[in-house]
Structure 1
Amino acid sequence: MRIVVVNWRDSGHRFAGGAELYATRIASSVAGTGAEVTFLTARDVGQSAADRIGQVAAVRRGGRWTVYPWALLWLFRHRRAIDVVVDCQNGIPFFSPLAVGRARVVQVVHHVHHDQFRVHFPAWLAAVGRWLEGPVARRVYRNAVTVAVSPSTVDAMRSRLGWRGPVHVVPNGADPAPADLPPRASEPTVVCLGRLVPQKRVDRLIDAVDVLRHRLPGLRLHVVGGGREEAALREWAARCGGAVVVHGHVPEAVKSDLLARSWLNVTLSDGEGWGLAVIEAAAHGVPTVCRDVDGLRDSVRHGETGWLMPRGAVVADVLLWALTELADPATASRVAARCRDWAARFDWDDSGARFASLVEGATAGGWLPGMPEASVAEFTPRDVPRRPGARVGPGWVLVEQCRPGDLLVSLRAAGAEDVTVRAASATERLLGRVGDQSFGPVPFGQVPSLGEDHRSQPRS
């Protein structure tokens, strides 16, 4: 198969983030099946117009905004040599179905930008963005196979974008943490890992640490990552008496050491498709405090691998409560073990195989409003018929975007006995397997009352 992956940036771009890692790893996985894969993306300063990323050919055209018309032109010119387009949407879609004719399109949605457009653009331009992401995209991609990276992203597509087509879930994978890591710091240490952009609201975390540093002597915040806000955040951190260090981009070994020494990871983003940094921290045994928003509510298991904070919460109070609980070595050890167990369930090879299965055989039909997004059938163990995207284990099969009645009839026709069909849980759908047992919440004390924080005025 000849496959083109279209993404705003590639992993070598100076502003690359989780979406770029996902696109790069998925492209490599699909190439590993023997497909001929091209990665079509923007060209950053210092990048060549064409080269290779492992088994994948990279083609770079245009910049932040001009990549969209350049990509459509390139796809149109090469449409007869393309079998499948993997179209990665980062707010504004590429609208590849308009250029590729009969080629199949698999659309990838990381998260819904509907509410974030107003953060970055004036009102009129934000309205244009919402129109393109919603009504226009629904029309253009109506015959595409759509993939989201988390169940809550699917929910947001249904509720905010009015998406009515089938949406499959293929989560991000994770890399294991290095084996030889330093011990946890003796003083309360917080890390914030990710791109430094306005919607991450790192300035509000710095404000909270500035409030707490007088109550928790030795408190440190390490901000790791780069982005447009880096210089401004360095200035903002300078007033915190050395309690906050903005590192910028650091080598992987340095990042792992900082994570391993930390007690807690914090992200105050107002929405994500997933929490790649959350899982990376969990792999190092570090829990996360974050807002209860799209994506993050899937990557954090509340009360087990971290805590979900409702909007309007007093950030400083929640941090103080979490750090106080984690000061107990026995509690911290239990939480760390549960974090590592959770992170170990995500694997890039498995995600790549799930995506490749959809590329090979999934179709856009099969879902109706009100139907479960994914169904689980449990039955007396025996061989069952395979279907693209289905996950099969001993005595169960998990299928997305399939009418429960059709699944029941299919299994009974194949000779399966004692068949029961139910809706899959969000965790089952995310992990692609049945029988995941929750290890139960850690017996923490009462969470403090959460209300509006009026003690500090955030910069943005």
Structure 2
Amino acid sequence: MTMNVGGLRLAIVNWRDPWHPAAGGAERYAWELARRYAAEGAKVTYVTCRAPGQARRETVEGVDLVRLGGRFTIYPLVLAWTLGHRRSFDAVIDCQNGIPFFTPWVLPRRVPVFCVVHHVHDAQFGLYFPGWLAWIGKVLEGPVTRWTYRRHAFVVVSTSTRKAVRERLRWTGPAYVVPNGVTQIETEPTEIQVERGEPDLVCVTRLVPHKRLGRLLDMAERLAERRPGLRLHLVGNGPEAPALAAQIKERGLTGTVILHGFVDEATKTALVARADLHLSTSQGEGWGLSVIEAAALGVPTVAHDVDGLRDAVRDGRTGWLADPGDEPAEVVERALKELDDPARRAELSEACRSWAGEFGWPRTAERMGRLISAAVQVGSAATADDDAHVVHRYGDGQPRVAEGPDRDALLAEVGAAGSVRPATPLERLLGRPE
């Protein structure tokens, strides 16, 4: 791995850490970067909130964890802590989970800040907060964020999130694409799958309002009428769990919809691997980490054609996207009929594994690491032209996709002795030439 972060002092600020009870994909992303950069010789401090029972300070895999405050108090406490350590870092990764931490307010101007945006939250604030508080959230996510990071850069996890920050947040600054990775399954598929019987569906998700879990129950109810042996496995936990359990009982879906709650990785892998389909009813994601994790096991996904998921699912090749006018149960039924053909099932499974193989955490860390190391050298995360380009040195058989300060440094190195062309959206997402 060549990322040149060794010796740098990095702060990664994220709402939660991976051991927080409400941790999700954003925590996985931040932690995979942190642990890999620490292994490369960087001094990494991971600043986050503190759940009950968690230590305020500890070191895990070479990463110094600093836990401050709770759900809302974390924001002012992070600013105060960062102000006291403002000259202790060469670069900062400031992760936005609806609202970023506004670290540029207290950092020296030459410290590059990368604001990581997984997805735009504007439509979700109203699901969790009263109107006045939702309005404050939208103002902080939009105008205040635009002003705060105007000399820095966004990092987004998909091309549709990049489009969303342009259109919905009106962000005009640099926005680089560094997608999530996936832990590649080393076990052979035949070792973790079981004999198939009636259709098994699975959904791995946090049980929170914007995942629209009621739609899963509607879907299960309709499908069970045609396929009485069908089972839908819900894997995950969250504040919606009690209400969901009550709805399952009221609708007579006990035995059809099975709530597993939080499970260990081995159990989750087994549940997903034996499924015919993975489902998502989310109204929007930055990427869809569970989709790619299912694909790594050869399991296609049915999801709505919304931000993030339209990048993670290759419609007709690694799954199916439901348009706004589609009835999700009908889309699942059509998918199951396609999977009844063994040749088509094998084709989809192979395509899923191939697609998931494009996304690994080492590659994610390397792409972000190149941006960080180049930004530290020039003292800025920004660049005048934030397009991605395929850069090819003459005599070098390894062209690569680069953007931001990494691309600028590469172009300066190559000079006239090379070729450059704009990268396609897919090349930008994959981080390699097609």
Say yes or no: TM over 0.5.
Answer: yes
Deviations 1:90-144 (A, max 9, x none): 0011101112224332211111112211222222222211111111101111112
Query: How far is 1:170 from its partner?
Result: 1.1
C-alpha distance in 1, partners of 2:361/2:411?
A: 33
Matched, 1:171 2:179: yes
RMSD: 2.1
Counterpart position of 1:253: 266
Query: How far is 1:291 from its partner?
Result: 0.9
Counterpart position of 2:60: 53
Alignment of 1:85-164 (within 5 A): 85-102=92-109, 103-164=111-172
Counterpart position of 1:353: 366
Counterpart position of 1:450: none
Counterpart position of 2:388: 374
Alignment of 1:271-350 (within 5 A): 271-350=284-363
TM-aligned CA distance change 1:23 to 1:140, over 3 Å: same
C-alpha distance in 2, partners of 1:85/1:401?
A: 16
From 386, 396, 400, the counterpart of 2:399: 396
Query: How far is 1:304 from its partner?
Result: 0.4
Query: How far is 1:244 from its partner?
Result: 0.6
Question: Which range moves more in the overlay, 271-280 or 168-177?
Answer: 168-177
C-alpha distance in 2, partners of 1:345/1:201?
A: 29
Q: Which amino acid aligns with 2:343?
A: A
Counterpart position of 1:389: none
Query: How far is 1:74 from its partner?
Result: 0.7
Matched, 1:25 2:36: no
Unaligned runs of 5+ residues in structure 1 are 384-393, 436-460
Counterpart position of 1:444: none
C-alpha distance in 2, partners of 1:431/1:58?
A: 31
From 171, 189, 212, the counterpart of 2:223: 212
TM-aligned CA distance change 1:223 to 1:93, over 3 Å: same
Counterpart position of 1:441: none
C-alpha contact (below 8 Å) 2:112/2:381 kept by paired residues: no
Deviations 1:34-73 (A, max 9, x none): 1111111000011111111211010101001111111111
C-alpha contact (below 8 Å) 1:165/1:364 kept by paired residues: no
Q: What number of residue pairs does the alignment pair up?
A: 417
C-alpha distance in 2, partners of 1:281/1:400?
A: 29
C-alpha distance in 1, partners of 2:388/2:195?
A: 40
Partner SS, residue 44 of structure 1: coil
TM-aligned CA distance change 1:138 to 1:213, over 3 Å: same
Q: Which amino acid aligns with 1:264?
A: L
C-alpha contact (below 8 Å) 1:224/1:250 kept by paired residues: yes
C-alpha contact (below 8 Å) 1:49/1:60 kept by paired residues: yes
Matched, 1:429 2:434: no
C-alpha contact (below 8 Å) 1:382/1:395 kept by paired residues: no
Deviations 1:359-382 (A, max 9, x none): 1113344345xxx73223567x42
C-alpha distance in 2, partners of 1:279/1:365?
A: 30
Unaligned runs of 5+ residues in structure 2 are 1-7
Q: Which amino acid aligns with 1:182?
A: Q
TM-aligned CA distance change 1:162 to 1:244, over 3 Å: same
Q: Which amino acid aligns with 1:296?
A: L
Deviations 1:423-456 (A, max 9, x none): 3222211111012xxxxxxxxxxxxxxxxxxxxx
Counterpart position of 2:3: none
C-alpha distance in 1, partners of 2:46/2:424?
A: 34
Q: Which amino acid aligns with 1:234?
A: A
Partner SS, residue 80 of structure 1: coil
Counterpart position of 2:69: 62
Query: How far is 1:168 from its partner?
Result: 1.0
Q: Which amino acid aligns with 1:366?
A: T
TM score, norm. by length of structure 1:
0.86
Question: Which range moves more in the overlay, 67-76 or 325-334?
Answer: 325-334
C-alpha distance in 2, partners of 1:262/1:22?
A: 25
TM-aligned CA distance change 1:50 to 1:291, over 3 Å: same
C-alpha distance in 1, partners of 2:48/2:157?
A: 20
C-alpha contact (below 8 Å) 2:301/2:313 kept by paired residues: yes
C-alpha distance in 1, partners of 2:414/2:349?
A: 44
Partner SS, residue 270 of structure 1: coil
Counterpart position of 1:452: none
Query: How far is 1:414 from its partner?
Result: 3.0
Deviations 1:196-246 (A, max 9, x none): 111111221111111110111211100001111112112222221411101
Partner SS, residue 52 of structure 2: coil
C-alpha distance in 2, partners of 1:15/1:207?
A: 26
C-alpha distance in 2, partners of 1:289/1:277?
A: 12
Query: How far is 1:407 from its partner?
Result: 10
TM score, norm. by length of structure 2:
0.91
